[in-house]
Chain A
C-alpha cells in the first residue's frame, strides 16, 4: 500500500472547517470574531426560541454556563495540558468563594472587587500547598489525594463556625456597577422577533433580579483567561507541560524540571478555580458548603474530558454541554441525572478523545494509522 492513499484519506470534517477559517484573510477573521463576540453578549437578550430555558431565568443559566466554562479552562491546564488527574478541583473553587465571603462580609468589609485578586492569590497558594507534597505521587494516586483534598475543604467549611458552618456566609457584596443605560430584549411571542421595551437590562447594574450583567462580566473574564491560556500554552511553559504529560521520565531526562512545571500548572489551575469561585460568590451573594459538593468536582472533570482534554475550545464546549443541558431539560428534572450519566457513557464509548480532541492527539492518531498501514504493507510485500 502506498502512502499516497493514506494521505488522500480525508480528515474529520472539523479539520476542513478549521482549515477554511484559518485560510481567511486577517481582517475577515477579525470581523468574524467580533461578530461572534457580539452574538455572545447579546445572547441573553435575544431570547431565541428553543435555546432559551423556559423554566429558569436564562441570564442565570448563562452565568452558570460561563462559570463552568471558566472552571473547565482552569482544570484543562491541570488535566489537559499537564496530565495531572485532579478530582478535588471544587476545593479551589470553594477556597475562592469563601475568601471573598470571609473578607467581604463575614469578618471584614472589603469591597468585592478588592477581594477577587486576594481570592485568586489564596487559591493559588492553596494549590501550591496541596501540590508541593502530593505532586510526587502519580496518576490515580494523585486523583485520590486531590479527591481527599476536596472533601477536607468541604468538611472544614461545614465544621468551622468561623467560616459560617452549615449556614454559610450571606450578604456578600455584589460587583461594583454604574447604572449606565438600558438595553431592551427581544420577544418572540408572535413567532416574529419584536423588540420588547418593557423587559430591559440596565447596563453595568449588578442587582439581584437580573443576572445578565453578571453573565457579561463572566464573559469578559473568560476572554481574559482565554488570552492568558493561549499565551501560556504557546510558550516554553506549555511545551514543557505537554512533554511532561506525554512522558514524564523522558522530559526529565531532557532537562525539563517536571516537578516545577507540574506545580506551576497546578497552581495556575487553582488560581482560575479560585477566580470562578469569586465570581460565583459575587453573583450569588450567599454561599454555603452545599454549593461545593464532591459531585461538582466530578462534573468539572466530566466537562474537560467530554469536550476533549487539552483542547481549549473542546473543553469550552464540554463545559457548555455539562452545564446547559441539565438546565434546558428541567422539565425532565427527575431523569436529568440518569440521562446525564447515560450520555457520559455514550460519549466515552463513541468519542473517547472527547468532542473536539486536541490537534496533537489527532496528529498522533493519523501517524499511528500510517504506521499501521506501512507495517501491513511490509507484511504483504
Chain B
C-alpha cells in the first residue's frame, strides 16, 4: 500500500442535505456505499480500493457529519438521496462497492435509475427477507454481544478496535447517530424491503457478491438467494469470516472487488 494516498474532504449540499464526502486515491471513479457501522473515515479496505480508483466515500444522511435524516423516512428516500448525489458528482454508470446497508441502498438506486450505477460489488448485503435464514438483532445495547454477532473472531484486534467498549467511549455519540440512522430505514421491515424480491430480475448488470461464510447477522443464505435471483451475479463465500468482511478479510475482499471491476470495465 502506498504510504500516502491522495485524500480530500468535502461537504456537499444534496437537495438541501448537508453531506460529508471523502475522496480517496486516483484513477477511474468508484462509489463506496458504507454499512450500518458507518465506516465513513477511510479504513484499510478503502485504501486498497483507492490504489486503483478514485473512491468517493459519502456518509449517508444521519451518519458522521451528514445531516438530513429528518427528510429520510425509508429506504426509498435514501435511494433518492443517492440518485441526487450521483448526479451532483456528475457520474454515470459508476462502479460501486457496497457493504451491508450500503449494498441494499445500491440495489434500490439501481432500480430507480439503472444507468447511474455500473458493475456492483455487494458485500454481506441487507435488503432481503429469506425464509429459514432470519437476520439477527442488530439493535442491541451490549457491545460485547454485538462483537460476537458481527465478527468471526470477536477476540481479534480489529474486533476490539472497531467497537466502542462502553458509553464513556468518545466515539459513542457518533455510534448512537449511526444506529439511529440505520434504524430509520431498517427497523421495520427489519433491514429489508419486501418488494425488493420481486424486482431482483430487473437488476441485470454484473454483480459480484461477497459473503462471510459465518455471517451471523445476515446469513450466507441471503448471498445465495441474491446469486440465484439476480440475472448476472456470482457469489464468493469467504471461510472463517463473519459479517465484517472488509475488516476481517481486507486484502482478499479488496482483490476480489478490484479484479471484478477490472474485468467488467475491460
A and B physically associate: no
Which A residues lie at the B interface, using CB under 8 A? none
Which B residues lie at the A interface, using CB under 8 A? none
